[in-house]
Structure 1
Amino acid sequence: MKLITKTTLLYLLIIALVISGSGYILYNTANNFIQEQVKHNFRYREHRILTFLSEPKPDLDLINSYNTLKVERLPQVKAPVISSFDRDVELYNDVTGQTELFRVRTFDKAIRGKVYRISIFIAMQDYVRLNNFIIKAAVYLFLALLVVLLLLNYLSSHFLWLPFRHTLEQIRHYSVNKNQPIVLPPTSTQEFEELNGLIAQMVTRIEYDYRNIKEFTDNISHEVQTPLAVMRAKLEMLLKSGNIPEKEYQALNAIYQSTTRLSKLSKTLALMSRINNQEFQNKEHINLKAFTQNILFNFKELAELKNVKIITDLDAEATLFIDPYLLDVLLSNLLKNALTHNYKNGEISIKVVPHKLTIANTGTPLTFDSHQIFDRFRKNADKPLSLGLGLAIVKKICDINGLIITHQYQQERHLFDLTF
Structure 2
Amino acid sequence: MKVAKKTKLIKKTSKTFLLTGLVLTVLSSIVLYFYTKSLLQDQVEESLYSTEARVVDALKNDQIVLSFPPITQLKKVQHIRPEILKDTIIYDPSQDEMEAFRELSTYKEIKGQIYKITVRNLVVESEDILVAIVFSNITIFVLAFLFLFFFNTTKNIKLWNPFFTNLEQMKKFSLSSNEEIQLVDSDVLEFSELKDEILLLTSKVKNDYENLKQFTENVSHEMQTPLAIIQAKIDNIINEHDINDKQFEQISSIQKDIQRLKHLNQRVTILTKIDNNQFVKVENVNITKLLKEKIENFKELEINYISLNSKNDLIASMDIYLADILINNLISNAIKHNFEEKDISITTENKTLVISNYGQNELLHPEKLFMRFYREVNSVQSSGLGLAILKKICDLYKFDLSYNFSENQHSFTLVFK
Quickly name the TM-score band, shorter chain normalised. 0.7 to 0.9
Other-structure match for 2:261: 262
What pairs up with 1:282-361 in 2 under 5 angstroms? 282-302=281-301, 304-305=302-303, 307-316=304-313, 318-361=314-357
* TM-aligned CA deviation for residue 214 of structure 1: 0.6
Other-structure match for 2:396: 400
CA contact (8 A) 1:311 1:347 kept: no
TM-score scaled by length of structure 1: 0.85
Comparing 406-415 and 220-229, the one that deviates more: 406-415
* TM-aligned CA deviation for residue 160 of structure 1: 3.4
The one-letter code matched in structure 2 to 1:280 is F
The C-alpha deviation readout for 1:29-80, integer Å capped at 9, x for no partner, is 3232222222222222333344556688966xx31x3441234556xxx546
The C-alpha deviation readout for 1:389-411, integer Å capped at 9, x for no partner, is 11111111111222221212111
Comparing 269-278 and 188-197, the one that deviates more: 188-197
The one-letter code matched in structure 2 to 1:5 is K
What pairs up with 1:27-38 in 2 under 5 angstroms? 27-38=33-44
The one-letter code matched in structure 1 to 2:308 is I
Report percent identity of matched pairs.
Answer: 28
Unaligned runs of 5+ in 1: none
The one-letter code matched in structure 2 to 1:216 is F
What pairs up with 1:92-103 in 2 under 5 angstroms? 92=92, 94=94, 101-103=100-102
The one-letter code matched in structure 2 to 1:313 is S
CA contact (8 A) 2:370 2:387 kept: yes
The one-letter code matched in structure 2 to 1:29 is Y
CA contact (8 A) 1:106 1:118 kept: yes
Q: Does 1:13 align with 2:16?
A: no
Other-structure match for 2:4: none
Other-structure match for 2:3: none
CA contact (8 A) 2:359 2:410 kept: yes
CA contact (8 A) 2:339 2:359 kept: yes
Cα root mean square deviation, aligned: 3.1
The DSSP-based 3-state class of the residue aligned with 1:311 is strand
What pairs up with 1:265-276 in 2 under 5 angstroms? 265-276=264-275
Between the aligned partners of 2:279 and 2:397, the Cα distance in structure 1 is: 10
Unaligned runs of 5+ in 2: 1-6
* TM-aligned CA deviation for residue 268 of structure 1: 0.8
Which residue of the other structure, out of 26, 39, 42, is the alignment partner of 2:45? 39
CA contact (8 A) 2:70 2:92 kept: no
CA contact (8 A) 2:25 2:142 kept: no
The C-alpha deviation readout for 1:114-171, integer Å capped at 9, x for no partner, is 7766543211233223322332233223322332233224423553333333322322
TM-score scaled by length of structure 2: 0.85
How many residues are aligned here? 410
- Kindly tell me: are residues 387 and 350 of structure 1, through their superposed partners in 2, closer, same or farther at Cα, counting changes over 3 Å? closer
The C-alpha deviation readout for 1:72-131, integer Å capped at 9, x for no partner, is 556xxx546785251243755737x88754223456677778776654321123322332
Between the aligned partners of 1:265 and 1:384, the Cα distance in structure 2 is: 18
Between the aligned partners of 1:144 and 1:297, the Cα distance in structure 2 is: 78
Between the aligned partners of 1:312 and 1:343, the Cα distance in structure 2 is: 21
Other-structure match for 2:124: 125
What pairs up with 1:5-404 in 2 under 5 angstroms? 5-51=11-57, 62-63=66-67, 65-72=68-75, 78-79=78-79, 84-89=84-89, 92=92, 94=94, 101-106=100-105, 119-239=118-238, 243-302=242-301, 304-305=302-303, 307-316=304-313, 318-380=314-376, 384-386=380-382, 388-404=384-400
